[in-house]
């Protein structure tokens, strides 16, 4: 899993080929802690097929603002550097897997 910040986001996600997801979260966010094991499971299950990234919104200002992140957890779905989908809240693994399978 790739840890993102304002400095490496463009290189790691927007300039990447293939499918990437970015989990916007914070340590103090209870729904984020509920989603964390789901994201970790996705990283294992889709290893080599999907780039799974996390961005702590407390350590980043530019990227969350650029993508209109107003609630966390938010997961953004990218394909070849283009934003194609998003989820907001502690969604189930099935929801994320369904969105990923549609992109692969």
Which residue in the list 29, 42, 76, 96 is annotated as catalytic? 29
Does the active-site annotation cover 29? yes
* Integer Cα distance of 14 and 16 in angstroms: 6
* Integer Cα distance of 52 and 3 in angstroms: 9
pLDDT digits (tens, 9 = 90+) for 9-38: 999 999 999 999 999 999 999 999 999 999
pLDDT digits (tens, 9 = 90+) for 79-95: 999 999 999 999 999 99
Around Cβ 88, how many Cβ atoms within 10 Å?
A: 14
Which residue in the list 32, 43, 57, 72 is annotated as catalytic? 32
**What is 4-32 written as a DSSP string?**
E-TTTHIIIIIT--SEEEEEEE-TT-HHH
pLDDT digits (tens, 9 = 90+) for 39-58: 999 999 999 999 999 999 99
- Averaged pLDDT for residues 64-80: 97
SS3 content of the chain, % helix, strand, coil (to 5): 40, 30, 30
């Amino acid at each position: 899993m790739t840890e993102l910040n304002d400095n490496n986001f463009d290189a790691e996600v927007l300039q990447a080929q293939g499918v990437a997801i970015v989990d916007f979260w914070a340590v103090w966010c209870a729904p984020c802690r509920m989603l964390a094991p789901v994201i970790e499971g996705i990283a294992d299950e889709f290893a080599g097929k999907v780039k799974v990234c996390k961005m702590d919104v407390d350590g980043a200002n530019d990227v969350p603002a650029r993508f209109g992140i107003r609630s966390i957890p938010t997961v953004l779905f990218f394909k070849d550097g283009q934003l194609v989908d998003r989820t907001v809240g502690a969604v189930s693994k099935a929801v994320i897997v369904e969105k990923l399978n549609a992109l692969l």
